[in-house]
Structure 1
């Protein structure tokens, strides 16, 4: 993998990890809209394994 492309991929992974981690401890806002609240809850549930997957992907890319 070209060094420049590898660096771009790693930067994008870091950017996505940062965004997920910034909102990891956000509280679910009670809005009265059950779908919006459900979406917030699902985002929290999905965020935890997604962070781990991105970390694993980053480790793999670093070995290329």
Structure 2
């Protein structure tokens, strides 16, 4: 019999790693009609816990303004 992995445990572990380590997602999208480029979109998102964000210099001003 093989051990079964609890899906909820895997999700919690994934969220824990995501918040602790963080991830940056970057995408470039070009909207075209009939091979004519109409709109270019450049997206960048950083996802992490606030401790990780402030460690890397993201949201430093927000963190300083909201410390008690």
Normalising to structure 1: TM-score of the pair? 0.31
The structure that has the greater radius of gyration is 2
Which is strand-richer, 1 or 2?
2
Which is helix-richer, 1 or 2?
1
Higher relative contact order (CA 8 A, sep 6+): 1
Normalising to structure 2: TM-score of the pair? 0.30
